[in-house]
Structure 1
Amino acid sequence: MSLITIKKSHNISDLFILKSRLESEGIKCFLLNEFTTQLMPHMLSFEVELQVYGTDLDKVKEILTEVNQI
């Protein structure tokens, strides 16, 4: 199964809110670069990426539309 990035941010708390919403719907989520950005917050080139499985993408799009995240 491949992972797809659905949102990127320098501010991890933005992604935690969306991650929580998706997980409440049973969608498994992953944060890429979560710890890198915490260790080196001064480097703006690092963004945290919220990823989901490609098989969940249709459901994710519905939820993102609901919460106006697209």
Structure 2
Amino acid sequence: MDETIEFVTVARSHDTSEMFILSARLEAEGIPSFVADANINQTYSLLSIASGGVRLQVPGEFAVAARKIIADVNSGLLALDDKDFSE
């Protein structure tokens, strides 16, 4: 019997690039993610507001962990210092 995976929206934005960056961060943490509605928002940017923007979705079982990582990214907790780039 096939198991249905329910995807949950964990972030939404009108900035497609932001959603792809967050998606990459989640993937790096082992959380599968999907950026929904990116193509329509890039192609028809005026429809972005009407369509609700771009959605970042993850399987429901990863939603809590994904929201925590997104909150850490948005708070600057995961930001790099200048010293991280010095030789």
Q: How high is the TM-score relative to the length of structure 2?
A: 0.69
The residue aligned with 1:11 is 15
| 1:15-30 alignment, distance < 5 Å | 15-30=19-34
Runs of 4+ in 1 over 3 A off after TM superposition: none
Corresponding residue of 1:39: 43
Aligned alpha-carbon RMSD (Å): 1.5
Distance of 1:37 and 1:3 partners within structure 2: 20
Corresponding pairs, count: 69
1:28 deviates by 0.8
Q: Which runs of 5+ in 1 are unaligned?
A: none
Please report how far the alpha carbon of residue 42 of structure 1 lies from its aligned counterpart in structure 2 after TM superposition.
Answer: 1.5
Unaligned runs of 5+ in 2: 76-87
Query: 1:67 is matched with which residue?
Result: 73
Give the C-alpha shift of residue 2 in structure 1. Answer: 0.4
Higher RCO (CA 8 Å, separation ≥ 6 residues) = 1
* Residues 45-64 of structure 1 aligned to structure 2 (within 5 Å): 45-46=50-51, 47-64=53-70
Higher gyration radius (CA): 2
Q: 1:41 to 1:28 in 2, by over 3 A?
A: same
